[in-house]
Amino acid sequence: MLSQYRVQILLVVSILGGTILILSPNYLRVQAAPDVNVFGRRVAKYGATRTRWAACLDLAFAVSYAMFAATFVGCGSLAIVGVAAVAFGAASDEAENILVLVGVSRRERLTSSTLNALRTFSRLKSAGLAVGVVLVVFGCLLC
C-alpha cells in the first residue's frame, strides 16, 4: 500500500513545489496569463528556459501530489471519491503544463485559443483539487 510511503511522497511533493517556485517565481502567473502578450512578458521575466524547466517539474509535481492523495484510499469511500477528484485535477494540471510548454515554444505564434485551453485546464485543475482535498479530509475524519 502507498500509505506506508506517505511521508516520503509528501517530501517529494514539497521539494518539487519549492523548486518550481525558486526556478520561476512567477510560474503560476505564466499559467494564468490573460492574453498572449502578457504570457510572453511573464515568460521573458525569468526566461524561456527556466519556464520550461518549471513546467517539466510541474509535470512531476502533479504526479507526486496525485500519488500522495492515493495514500488515503484506505480511509473510506468518501476519501476514494476525493482521491479520484484529485487525480482528475492532476490530469488537468498535466494538460495545463503541456500547454505552457507549447506556449513557451511557440510564443511568436501563440494563439488566444491555446491560452483559453490553458486557462480551462487551470480551472478544471483547481476545481478537482479543491473538491478532492475536502472529500479526502472529511473521508479520513469520518473513518
pLDDT-derived band at 2 (thresholds 50, 70, 90) equals: low
pLDDT, tens only, 23-49: 999 999 999 999 999 999 999 999 999
For 111-138, write each residue's pLDDT tens digit: 999 999 999 999 999 999 999 999 999 9
3-class secondary structure per residue, the chain: CHHHHHHHHHHHHHHHHHHHHHHCCCHHHHHCCCCHHHHHHHHHHHCHHHHHHHHHHHHHHHHHHHHHHHCCHHHCHHHHHHHHHHHHHHHHHHHHHHHHHHHHHCHHHCCHHHHHHHHHHHHHHHHHHHHHHHHHHHHHHHC
Chain segment 42-75, per-residue pLDDT in tens: 999 999 999 999 999 999 999 999 999 999 998 8
